[in-house]
Amino acid sequence: MLKRQSAMRRDPMVKARDGVGTTVFDHILEVTEMETNCRVLAKITLEPGASIGYHQHVDEEDIYYILRGIATVNDNGQIITVYPGECVYLRAGDSHGIANDGQEPLEFISIILTHKPPAR
């Protein structure tokens, strides 16, 4: 299956998880297009100063792969800087948040894998 970029749903979210600014989700694949326990497969863009607030995933794992920009990630209370080509893996039960404290847009791939089949 080929899915062209023009067919991908764009979903801007203001103050995602009580963060700051607007988070833009470009959904690479929708839950209904996958046969796995994947709830989110998206490219996420945060403009400078924007963030996704600190939150927890229960029965889910979250993976961030940084494409562009520099991310500031709160990984269970530990603040880390993540650069393009690096990955953050968050286990079920972990808490995290991500912010763009840089001068250019932050782009990353987010994959959320569920331990239960997602609602389709």
Extents of the domains making up the chain? 28-41+51-80+109-120
Amino acid at 57: H
pTM, whole model, 2 decimals?
A: 0.94
- pLDDT digit string, tens, across residues 12-62: 999 999 999 999 999 999 999 999 899 999 999 999 999 999 999 999 999
Edge-first strand order for the sheet with 60-68 is 9-14, 22-29, 38-46, 106-114, 60-68, 87-90
- pLDDT digit string, tens, across residues 61-103: 999 999 999 999 999 999 999 999 999 999 999 999 999 999 9
